[in-house]
């Protein structure tokens, strides 16, 4: 049986990946996760123990990573510090996890001849004007804005260098904004849903004209499985589902779907250096690898996500007070 090591597999996208891979492949999965504030073993509950093993540890721990990589065929690298706002409050863990962690993995896959798939973000390309007819492609120049996106850009460049200089077998994917179950409530969509469920008003940064290109987490992960099966080493694939929506519209849609007045939200302090618009052209992935997204109706996906947070209150409730206190300190 083929074995996959999934770093960051107790977080939002990684845990959904493990669930999809268990359902759709016969591979054995080992999750390596440090269980930071963003990781939780509850995200992996009810998965069969003969298919999924768990290793608690840091992706920057060279000895541990070496042992785990020696025992696998493929690594899928999700582990990262992932939240822009946190990177503005304290960039340091972003450097250790996103840069040193990726470097540590690269050295291990190089030693053991193991294939790596590196999960990255469209934020490495910076942002677009609202009226720009162009979207990001694999040829777009890197121009990251925040400490988070700068460290993700650096990690991508490390992967490319290890492919070219050391012949490491690796692919990279850069995906747009994900939504769906198990997303940490610090992030935009689950923060607003849980605000409404908690009797708080949703919080929109600035005027809310910023556009994000939303994709359901299962579409992101089905693209990753496609790249694992058919992707070519050394290649980068952009993942997106043509889901551009501005933040104001997202908040108003959440309020409407939850039976609240569409204007029942607050405008709060804007994010420093706030990227205006992301938009992905995923033609390469669709034409070369034959991938298609399944969740084309964003409003239906949002409604299902609202239901999920309604029925999983015991998971998010213990975190809510502290998250909102940290935002309030920043005027957000």
Q: Which residues are catalytic?
A: 122-123, 148
Side-chain-side CA neighbours of residue 11 (13 Å): 23
Round to whole Å and give the CA distance between 322 and 328: 10
Q: Residue 118: name its binding partner from ligand NAD, ligand TDX, none (Cβ under 5 to 8 Å by kind).
A: none
* Span 19-48, contacts to ligand NAD by CB under 6 A: 33-36, 38-39
Round to whole Å and give the CA distance between 184 and 83: 10
Q: What b/e readout covers 289-298, taking b as 16+ CB neighbours within 10 angstroms?
A: bebebebeeb
Q: Residue 4: name its binding partner from ligand NAD, ligand TDX, none (Cβ under 5 to 8 Å by kind).
A: none
Round to whole Å and give the CA distance between 198 and 192: 10
Binding characters for ligand NAD, 235-274, by CB under 6 A (x = yes): ----------------------------------------
Tokens of 303: 């409604």
Round to whole Å and give the CA distance between 10 and 17: 10
Q: What b/e readout covers 179-193, taking b as 16+ CB neighbours within 10 angstroms?
A: bbbbbbbbbbbbbbb
3-state secondary structure of 84: helix
Round to whole Å and give the CA distance between 117 and 105: 11
* Span 233-272, contacts to ligand TDX by CB under 6 A: 247, 271
H/E element, 321: helix 313-329
Residue 83 interacts with ligand TDX (CB under 6 A): yes or no: yes
Residue closer to ligand TDX (CB basis): 162 or 265: 265
Q: Do 110 and 166 form a contact (C-beta atoms < 8 A)? A: yes
Q: Contact with ligand NAD (CB under 6 A): which of 6, 18, 29, 60?
A: 60
Residue 119 interacts with ligand NAD (CB under 6 A): yes or no: yes
Structure-token match 């909102």, residue found: 324
Residue 85 interacts with ligand NAD (CB under 6 A): yes or no: no
Residue 125 interacts with ligand NAD (CB under 6 A): yes or no: no
Residue closer to ligand NAD (CB basis): 82 or 253: 82
Handedness of CA 140, 141, 142, 146 (dihedral sign): negative
Q: Residue 84: name its binding partner from ligand NAD, ligand TDX, none (Cβ under 5 to 8 Å by kind).
A: ligand TDX
Residue 86 interacts with ligand TDX (CB under 6 A): yes or no: no
Q: What b/e readout covers 80-98, taking b as 16+ CB neighbours within 10 angstroms?
A: bbbbbbbbeeebeebbebb
Q: Contact with ligand TDX (CB under 6 A): which of 177, 194, 221, 282?
A: 177
Structure-token match 């084309």, residue found: 296
Residue closer to ligand NAD (CB basis): 123 or 324: 123
Residue 210 interacts with ligand TDX (CB under 6 A): yes or no: yes
* Span 136-195, contacts to ligand NAD by CB under 6 A: 152, 175, 177-178, 184
CB of 152 to ligand NAD, least distance (A): 5
Residue closer to ligand TDX (CB basis): 79 or 114: 79
Return residues touching ligand TDX (CB under 6 A): 82-84, 121, 123, 177, 187-188, 191, 203-205, 208, 210, 212, 247, 271
Residues that bind ligand NAD (CB under 6 A): 7-8, 10-14, 33-36, 38-39, 58-60, 78-82, 97, 101, 119, 121, 152, 175, 177-178, 184
């Amino acid at each position: 049986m083929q074995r996959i090591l999934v770093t960051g597999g107790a977080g939002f996208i990684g845990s959904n990946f493990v669930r999809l891979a268990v359902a759709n492949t016969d591979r054995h999965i080992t999750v390596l996760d440090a269980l930071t504030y963003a990781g939780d073993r509850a995200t992996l509950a009810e998965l069969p123990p003969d298919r999924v093993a768990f290793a608690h540890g840091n992706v920057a721990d060279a000895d541990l990573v070496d042992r785990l990589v020696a025992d696998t065929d493929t690594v899928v690298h999700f582990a990262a510090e992932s939240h822009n706002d946190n990177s503005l409050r304290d960039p340091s863990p972003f450097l250790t996890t996103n840069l040193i962690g990726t470097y540590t993995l690269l050295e291990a896959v190089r030693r053991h001849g193991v294939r790596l798939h590196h999960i990255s973000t469209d934020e490495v390309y910076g942002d677009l004007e609202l009226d720009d007819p162009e979207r990001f492609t694999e040829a777009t120049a890197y121009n990251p804005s925040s400490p988070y996106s700068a460290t993700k850009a650096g990690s991508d460049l490390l992967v490319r260098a290890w492919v070219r200089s050391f012949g490491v077998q690796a692919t990279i994917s850069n995906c747009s904004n994900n939504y769906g179950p198990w997303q940490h409530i610090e992030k935009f969509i689950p923060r607003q849903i849980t605000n409404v469920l908690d009797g708080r008003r949703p919080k929109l940064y600035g005027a809310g004209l910023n556009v994000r290109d939303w994709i359901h987490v299962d579409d992101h992960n089905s693209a990753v499985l496609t790249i694992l099966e058919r992707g070519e080493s050394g290649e980068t694939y952009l993942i997106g589902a043509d889901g551009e929506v501005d933040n104001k519209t997202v908040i108003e849609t959440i309020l409407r779907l939850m039976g609240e007045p569409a204007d029942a939200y607050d405008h709060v302090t804007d994010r420093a250096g706030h990227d205006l618009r992301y938009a992905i052209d995923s033609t390469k992935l669709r034409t070369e690898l034959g991938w298609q997204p399944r969740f084309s109706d964003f409003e239906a996906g949002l409604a299902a996500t609202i239901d999920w947070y309604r029925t999983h209150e015991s998971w998010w409730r213990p975190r809510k007070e502290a998250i909102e206190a940290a935002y309030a300190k920043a005027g957000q």
